[in-house]
Amino acid sequence: MGQVCAVSAKLERCVLWWRMCRGRAAVVRHLDLLAVALRLKGYRSVRLYRHEEFPVPLPLLWVFACGPEEHAGMVVGVRSSPGGNRGYYEAGRGRAGYLAACGDAEFAADQIDALLRHMMFPAAW
């Protein structure tokens, strides 16, 4: 019985991966909206999804900020979720790095802002 659960979980991950690769244009659009929302908050970003410049299989957005002593940054990606939704995720943490649903770029920018501020000024938290 345990093998059946493991196979179905693996199959679900494969389906989600396929769905995300198929919807690359939508993922890029979500990351563009997030980049604009972050620019309004004063953050810089590098779009790692232009094939001619960065040949990476998954579209990613590198967000960074410069603090007085340290620099902080994180890589954000979009992942498919069960139920047909997509969400912003911190790429280094995988599914555990969920930030926000893709429909709300401003809330995701607020989440990223809070995380980067914590990285730059840990004593203030």
| pLDDT, tens digit, 9 for 90 and up, residues 52-67 | 666 677 889 999 887 6
Given pLDDT bands bounded at 50, 70 and 90, which one contains residue 81? confident
Collapsing DSSP states into helix, strand and coil, what is residue 83? coil
Q: What is the pLDDT of residue 62?
A: 93
Could you give the strand order of the β-sheet that contains 60-66, starting from the edge strand earlier in sequence? 44-47, 60-66, 71-80, 86-90, 98-101
The model's pTM is 0.77
3-state helix, strand, coil in the chain (%, to 5): 50, 25, 25
Q: What is the pLDDT of residues 29-44, one digit of tens each?
A: 999 999 999 999 999 9
Average pLDDT over the chain reads 81
Q: What is the pLDDT of residue 48?
A: 87
Given pLDDT bands bounded at 50, 70 and 90, which one contains residue 110? very high
DSSP codes, 14-42: HHHHHHHHHTHHHHHHHHHHHHHHHHHTT
Q: What is the pLDDT of residue 125?
A: 57
Q: What is the pLDDT of residue 74?
A: 92
- Pairwise CA distance, residues 120 & 43, whole Å: 13
Collapsing DSSP states into helix, strand and coil, what is residue 60? strand
Contact 63, 112 (CB under 8 A): yes
